Amino acid sequence: MDRRRFLKVVGVTSGGAAALSACGIGPEPTEQLIPYLVAPENQVPGTATWYATTCRECAAGCGLHAKVREGRVIKLEGNPESPINGGRLCSRGQAALQGLYDPDRVTEPMARGQSGEWQKLTWDEGIARLAAKIKDARGRGIVFVTGLETGSFGQLVDTWMREIGGRHVTYEPFAFEALREGNRLAFGTSAIPLYDFANAKYIVSFGADFMETWLSPVGYQNGFTRAHAFQAGRDASMARFVYVGPRLSLTGMSADEWIAAAPGTEGLMALAMAHVIASGRLAAVPADAARLRDLLAAHAPGTVADAVGVEARQIERLAREFAASKGGLAVAGGMTAQYPNGAEIVVAVNVLNYVAGQVGKTVRFGPNHALEGAGSFRQMADLVADMNAGRVPLLLVHGANPVHSLPGTFSQALGRVGYKVSFSSYLDETAAASDLVLPDLHPLEQWNDSQPRAGVYALQQPVMQPVLPGTMHTGDVLLRTTGKPGTFRDYVQTRWRELHGRLGRGLAFEDFWTDALQHGGIYRDPPPQAVRLSLELGKSAPGGAKPLLGWRPSPEEPLLVALPSIALHDGRGANKSWLQELPDPVSKITWHAWVEVHPETAAKWQVVSGDVVLLKSPFGAVRAPVWVSPGIRRGVLAVPIGQGHKAYGRYAKDRSFNAFELLGDVPTAYGGRAFTVSVAVARTGDHRRLATIEGDAREQGRGVIEVLPLERAERLKPGQHPFAEHGVPSYAERALEEWAEAQHKKASLGDYAGEHPRWAMAIDLTKCTGCSACVTACYAENNLATVGEELVVRRRQMSWMRIERYYTGGDHGRPVGAVVTPMLCQQCGNAPCEPVCPVYAAYHTPDGLNGQVYNRCVGTRYCANNCPYKVRYFNWHNFAEPGGEWESWPDPLNMLLNPDVTVREKGVMEKCTFCVQRIRAAQNRARLEDRNVQDGEITPACAQACPSEAIVFGDLHDTSSRVAQLARDPRGYHVLAGLNTKPAITYLARVVHGDVAETGPHG
């Protein structure tokens, strides 16, 4: 009996036939067709229009391309022309879309009434109230707090504050004060240079998480993979990467070597390396570095080794390698630059770069980062003091949420401010504590501009009509309040007229403006800026060993470090369900915060993952679930920043704990904030199941991830296959041959006859860093539902693409490391899921995909049971049901749904199909133009987003395609190839310097 007949019989006998015809998947077609009054220009129904604009989710300022369908923006991708991100985009940037369509946005102006309730206002009333308050407070200390604004809006605020005798404070919780101060001490300039990862040959990161939140993560990750990728035949193939820091972060996971130096001693290590280079004349040491003789002499490797906790021999080796590479790059940041002695560590790292002759080469001043202009934590502390003293009658806040990041002091001080006005689009903690909320447009609805780094003039244009008609651009509000003529767009254009004078290159202004709009801005190379060693250095402040040793964490209590989160940043990402459900690249935990504990510490305290402990610092206490991880130094605890909101919408509110509550609020010597604190830990006896997607922390030698030492990888010749795939057992050979023949016969029937592409993918694990941008891209492209914390705990997440992270080493004294791999449907040539489907919902397409026909699926889940890769996901609930318990897209979030992809219903299995909608779109386009699809024309969403360019997609049957070439690479292997599944995804083994860390018992 064939399967179809089987089901028919079953259907008749059990009444289950209804399931076959109940194909109510997806929204019902509209019953009314309402035409445009006037068809919008450049909009073709059914076809996307793309607009260039700029991402404002962090200070990096990546260029964006916004995909607009029928007037709604439905996806964000990187702008390939932007020199910042070169067409790539991180998870946070892609999730800006969810900020735009946030169901909890403030819909119209509102003010606190007498009894504290919100009263809705018209804009005229709101602006009149604001104007009245300004009139009252004029000249008496008005303060305007904004995020980093380097363009027209910032200028408008500055000008206005000067006019009314107020003060403009820029507040970024991650303002890189230590980096700026360290550069000032070392080079006499507080500029933040461009770090040229792409041309580096040896990279040492002292805590700088340059793939996560450090300065410009997308661009730097892209540059890093260009240097660190294994490309046999290239001169400087594979720069070595050493990560120094107390915790193995996402950035650290890409390292060839992780050195968990004692917290606060990273600077000593950098100086010791500089000492080795200078004293051994291992590099072209600049002449003026002689001034550092005393400083360096005090930091010989032997002297500092004990303090750092690293053998002198190892420091010497690193220094020699660093110098010998003739392209070393040392960076300091992240955790390391948030210690109380962060600035000194930055100085030490600057000295290392300088001594090695790299300043001006891999450390390039000139194209300086905009964060140089950010305020400092000290300014914020001063503001709090003024507020407490009653010197601030009127406080205006835009683009910052200080009540969340300064939970104690700022909110208390807020009580002594006469009148508080928030321009937030969301009712975050600061807005909730305000007297008047004048909701701003989302950056995707705004005109604005910015200068994320010198030479990059990025333009922001509205990519759609405002989602909420009751919101107004704060720029326009300010112009109206001050009675100035024109709109904010005119204001931006006026500024661009000035730019046109300088950069116009003979173009008429209209052409210049249109050109900038089309390309997302104007990109110029600024002249390089030469820097010399500061004359002060070696003489005073960090001269001698004292200041560098000036801070040591208490040896009695564990040191807690608060980590900037790659998904939530400083907490601003917490209102977006994609980011909440994005597994943290390191811990794989979603929706809540945790405290990372070393296994030995955990054993000492007798706690396991999931046990809730009480963390108590001098400033506050939180309850945190333990996550035991080998990727952290003994005696150090780590908590992620970003959760624990008291407001900020349904996705952020009352989730887990706020790490900022544990931190002090006294500025450090360099004007920043220490993200470290000593804590007392107490068991609470409570336990919770972590909302994690991790299956096993170790790969257990299953062959999911293969690793090759560089020496061996370089010797591989075409045609070699070091990863011997388990052969077919001899007794099964004949059966398989016959079966294959039968398959072939079948394959020559109907649609399957003739030439077809075989869509395939190659994923280079040497490039993949685990940053998870692809995961969010998949959510955005394929209408993946977010299921919420409870369902993730029950392992019912819908993430078609997941990043698996496995720890390596750690036993027998071997160094701890980690390997990562993206796991998605392998589109098997011989797929176990297909033959078990009773209704042919899972079937093999002629072009080699494991198709999944949602409207055929009856939800037996046999396919998922039979999938060895576990990449099929079942809809246990109706995530699209408006108002339903598990609703994933509450209005207006449903506006971001991709109309080219079916929204799946309860009871349906779903999976990755290599973005088949993009394949079909490319085929349609090619057919209209009477040609064939070109290699590279189709890019699945994951490959498009990938900041490392690790994913290549194409037709395996086209032998000249990039993917076919990569599939022949000797590094290539297939996951679980022994199952004879014949996957379409070829993974290219990760190549590491030095020994291969064993991935499991079998190696």
Partner 1 sequence: MTKGSGRAAVGAAVACLMTVPAAAQNGQPAAYQAPVISDTGKLAGPRQPLFFRHDVHAGQYQIPCLYCHATVAVSSAPGIPSMQTCFGCHQLVAGGKRPFGGGSTLSAARDSAARAAEAAEVRKVQAAWLGKKPSEWVRIHALPGFVRFPHMRHIKTLGTESCINCHGDVRAMSQVYQVATLKMGWCVTCHVQRQVSRDCTLCHY
**Which stretches of the chain bind partner 1, using CB under 8 A?**
23-39, 41, 44-47, 750-751, 843, 845-847, 849, 851, 853-856, 900-903, 913, 916-917, 920, 924, 927-928
Q: How far is the CB of 200 from partner 1 (least distance, A)?
A: 43
The Cα-based distances of 932 to 296, 405, 533, 537, 957 in angstroms read 64, 54, 58, 64, 14
- Shortest separation between residue 836's beta carbon and partner 1, angstroms: 17
In whole angstroms, what is the distance from residue 90 CA to residue 776 CA? 8
Residue 568 vs 760, nearer CB to partner 1: 760
In which element (H, E) is residue 431 found? helix 429-432
CB of 920 to partner 1, least distance (A): 7
Closer CB to partner 1, residue 49 or residue 303? 49
In 537-681, which ranges are continuous DSSP H helix? 577-581, 599-605
Q: Smallest distance, Å, CB 851 to partner 1?
A: 5
Alpha-helical runs (H) found in 668-821: 710-715, 730-747, 773-781, 789-793
Q: Which is nearer to partner 1, 36 or 118 (CB)?
A: 36
Smallest separation, CB 950 to partner 1 (Å): 25
For residues 43 and 314, which CB has a smaller minimum distance to partner 1 in the complex?
43
Q: Which is nearer to partner 1, 271 or 916 (CB)?
A: 916
| Cβ-contact 693, 802 below 8 angstroms | yes
Q: Nearer Cβ to partner 1, position 311 or 751?
A: 751
Closer to partner 1 by Cβ: residue 454 or 760: 760
Q: Which residue's CB is nearer to partner 1, number 724 or number 928? A: 928
Residues contacting 577, CB < 8 A, separation 6+: 98, 651, 786, 788, 888, 893
Find the shortest distance in angstroms from Cβ 194 to partner 1.
42
Beta strand pairing call for 63-69 and 110-112:
unpaired
Six-digit token pair at 273? Answer: 């390396």
Cα(796)–Cα(436) distance, rounded to whole angstroms?
Answer: 41
If the CB atoms of residues 67 and 453 are measured against partner 1, the closer one turns out to be 67
Minimum distance, C-beta of residue 206 to partner 1, in the bound complex (Å): 47
- 172-198 in b/e burial notation, b at 16+ Cβ within 10 A? bbbbbbbbbbbbbbbbebbbbbbbbbb
219-228: b (≥16 Cβ within 10 Å) or e: bbbbbbbbbb
CA 336/CA 672 separation, integer angstroms: 12
CB-wise, 316 or 887, nearer to partner 1? 887
CB of 244 to partner 1, least distance (A): 47
Residue 434 beta carbon to partner 1: minimum distance, rounded to whole angstroms: 38
Q: Are 488 and 475 a contacting pair, CB within 8 Å? A: yes
Contacts of 30 (CB under 8 A, 6+ apart): none
> φ, ψ for residue 199 (rounded to 5)?
-105, 10
Cα 433 to Cα 455: distance, rounded to the nearest angstrom = 39
Backbone angles phi, psi at 929, to 5 degrees: -95, 15
> Residue 111 has which token pair?
């003010």
Least Å distance, CB 929 to partner 1, is: 10
One-letter amino acid at 637 equals: L
CB of 74 to partner 1, least distance (A): 15
Strand partners, 273: none
The answer to whether the CB of 600 falls within 8 A of the CB of 816 is no
Q: Which is nearer to partner 1, 235 or 930 (CB)?
A: 930
Shortest spacing between CB 515 and partner 1, in angstroms: 20
Whole-number Cα distances in Å, 189 to 197, 532, 673, 685: 21, 10, 21, 52
Measured distance CA(145)–CA(402) in Å, rounded: 9
451 vs 923 by CB, closer to partner 1: 923
Please answer whether residues 431 and 27 qualify as being in contact, where contact means their C-beta atoms are separated by less than 8 angstroms: no
